[in-house]
Amino acid sequence: MDKLEIKAEVSIDDAGTITGLAWPFGDADSVGDIIEKGAFEMPVAVPMMLEHGRTFDGAIGIWTGVVETDAGLEVKGQLFVDAIKPAKQVRHLFGKGAVTGLSIGFKGGAFEPLPTGGRKFSAVTLTEISLCARPVHPGARITSVKSINQEPRMEPATDETAALEQKAANDNFAKLTARLDKIEAKSNRPVAANDNEPLAGLKAFGDELRTTMLERKALTIAAPGTGGNLVPDEFSASILEKVRAFSPVRQLASNVSVSGSLLQIPRLVNSVVPGSITEVGAKPESEPTFEQIDIKPFAMGVLVPVSRSTLEDSAIDLTNYLTNHIVAECATLESEWFVKGNGTTQAEGVLTSTAIAAIEATAITTDALLDVLYGIKSAYSLNGAWLMNRKTMRIIRGLRDSDGNLLWQPGLQAGQPGLLLDKPVYEADHMPDPAVGASPIVFGDFARGYLITDRITFEPHIDYDTRYANDIVVFGGRRRVGGKVVMGEALTKLKLKA
């Protein structure tokens, strides 16, 4: 088996399409190797990696265009910035000038040794192209990173360009260091014993608070008002982890971050229908039809007035407590939306969606559960999961099969959900109790059936000014989230009839 060899330089992108020169023809790399034009054997789509998997074991994007030109191996690809966190971080590093090169991974084929000690390859199989910081080939660099509205541009890299990029990176680092020094100086100022007073100084409380909040927030890719969340990535990630603990649907469904007020996705209604043909007969024509699904994010929020005396005299950190409490309550409301939201002022719930078919039964029995399990296609059932509340779980845990074995089995490991007919069971408090007319059980592939859109992860708010005359501090928070059933056939529910 050929050894996987790594070539070229590290490179990173912004937040959209990325283009560059992965391997220049005619020049040797730093170890003396040359790859001739026409030597590359390329698949249809090439995975985009980060440092050849050394820092993140998985693809962070995909190269959709890989073409040999007179200049070299020119590439065009797309980062998965909305789905994979390292891809988003890579985009940020590119803006700072920390990642500027490309590196290829390939299986070597035919080559001839060179007098310089290197090799001249006439056949190689391309396996991946990585974004890197220090490429083997000095000419393998990203030439442009563009947004959706920009046009791609291919430019040869020069020593002058490299020098300018390095200078920009050094300048950015110096500015960042100076900013951190200022923040550290402010953090060393005296505060109240319970740390409920954010800052003490000559400025008014409101100005100081706004300054502090802006320093704690990361002004991300989008400008204010255009969809960027004014929270740092690590804070956003921790908030979502807390939300996941309250919302089992979020654990199971697909999640995507959006930057607009509406996400529109196509859904296949009728697929093409192939037909049998004779040896020289004409092929039948068939066209697929699609419909458009609109997913809108809805806002939730709350304000909590607290007296300044309570903040000053409390023995605990009320600021942190109230923020976490608001996050927890937003997560609880989100969980309710995903189950029974009305779809007009709230996210659409799995129980209110008309796209999910119901299987009716007079009671929760072994046969009824088997009907639900086999009520969807095998492709969906393979990754299926059960959703129900504790009262329904209590009934099911006493059911047995025809051989007298309990249908419910404990999880394979501690902390994992129990198994019902070999599929995991997740508890959702907002699922209805088992009663006539209710649908206490939902089963299916939530990842393919339900899509969650996060517009604003969480936006904290502390107001010391508005009600200062009454010594009232107002804490608050808001988030915008949407959800909808996008593939009804992937899910089914059990409805109890009289």
Look at residue 413 and tell me if it is in a domain.
yes
Look at residue 103 and tell me if it is in a domain.
yes
CATH number of the structural domain spanning residue 469: 3.30.2400.10
Q: 281: pLDDT confidence band, cut at 50, 70 and 90?
A: confident
The stretch 388-395 carries a mean pLDDT of 95
β-partners of residue 452 are 255, 483
Look at residue 186 and tell me if it is in a domain.
no
Look at residue 185 and tell me if it is in a domain.
no
The stretch 31-45 carries a mean pLDDT of 79
Q: 31 or 114, which is more confident? A: 114
Whether residue 234 is found in the same domain as residue 95: no
Q: What is the pLDDT of residue 248?
A: 87
Whether residue 112 is found in the same domain as residue 254: no
Look at residue 284 and tell me if it is in a domain.
no
Whether residue 77 is found in the same domain as residue 147: yes
Would strands 408-409 and 254-257 be described as parallel, antiparallel, or unpaired?
Answer: unpaired
Lowest mean pLDDT, pick from 42-51, 117-126, 246-255, 404-413: 42-51
Whether residue 266 is found in the same domain as residue 131: no
Q: Tell me the C-alpha distance between 461 and 304, whole Å.
A: 10
pLDDT at 144 over 80: no
Residue ending a domain, among 157, 176, 192, is 157
What secondary structure letter does DSSP report for 15? Answer: S
pLDDT in tens, 186-208: 656 555 555 554 434 333 434 44
Residue ending a domain, among 157, 175, 200, is 157
Whether residue 153 is found in the same domain as residue 224: no
In this prediction the pTM is 0.52
Look at residue 309 and tell me if it is in a domain.
yes
Q: What is the pLDDT of residue 456?
A: 85
| Exposure string over 209-227, b if 16+ CB within 10 A, otherwise e | beebeeeeebebbeeeeeb
Q: What is the pLDDT of residue 148?
A: 31
Whether residue 252 is found in the same domain as residue 345: yes
Q: 297: pLDDT confidence band, cut at 50, 70 and 90?
A: very high
Whether residue 248 is found in the same domain as residue 116: no
β-partners of residue 7 are 104
pLDDT at 325 over 50: yes
Residue ending a domain, among 136, 157, 178, is 157
User: Is the dihedral angle over the CA atoms 349, 353, 357, 361 positive or is it negative?
Assistant: positive
Q: What is the pLDDT of residue 230?
A: 39
Q: 353: pLDDT confidence band, cut at 50, 70 and 90?
A: very high
The stretch 406-412 carries a mean pLDDT of 86
Whether residue 113 is found in the same domain as residue 251: no
Q: How many domains does the chain have?
A: 2
Q: What is the pLDDT of residue 427?
A: 93
Q: What is the pLDDT of residue 137?
A: 53
Q: 60 or 494, which is more confident? A: 494
Whether residue 479 is found in the same domain as residue 358: yes
Whether residue 329 is found in the same domain as residue 467: yes
Lowest mean pLDDT, pick from 116-120, 208-212, 270-274, 394-398: 208-212
Q: What is the pLDDT of residue 126?
A: 82
pLDDT in tens, 421-460: 999 999 999 999 999 999 999 999 999 999 999 988 888 8
Percent of the chain with pLDDT over 70: 71
Computed over every residue of the chain, the mean pLDDT equals: 76
Q: What is the pLDDT of residue 407?
A: 92
pLDDT at 334 over 50: yes
Q: What is the pLDDT of residue 168?
A: 53
Top mean pLDDT of 13-17, 22-26, 60-64, 401-405 is at 401-405
pLDDT at 365 over 50: yes
Domain range enclosing 60: 4-157
Look at residue 34 and tell me if it is in a domain.
yes
Top mean pLDDT of 82-86, 115-119, 343-347, 475-479 is at 343-347
Q: Among candidates 306, 441, 305, 322, which has minimal Cα distance to 384?
A: 441
State residue 201 phi and psi, 5-degree precision.
Answer: 180, -165
Whether residue 120 is found in the same domain as residue 235: no
Whether residue 136 is found in the same domain as residue 224: no
Q: What is the pLDDT of residue 171?
A: 58
Look at residue 171 and tell me if it is in a domain.
no
Indicate the SS3 state at residue 7: strand
The stretch 33-54 carries a mean pLDDT of 79
Lowest mean pLDDT, pick from 222-226, 241-245, 308-312, 356-360: 222-226
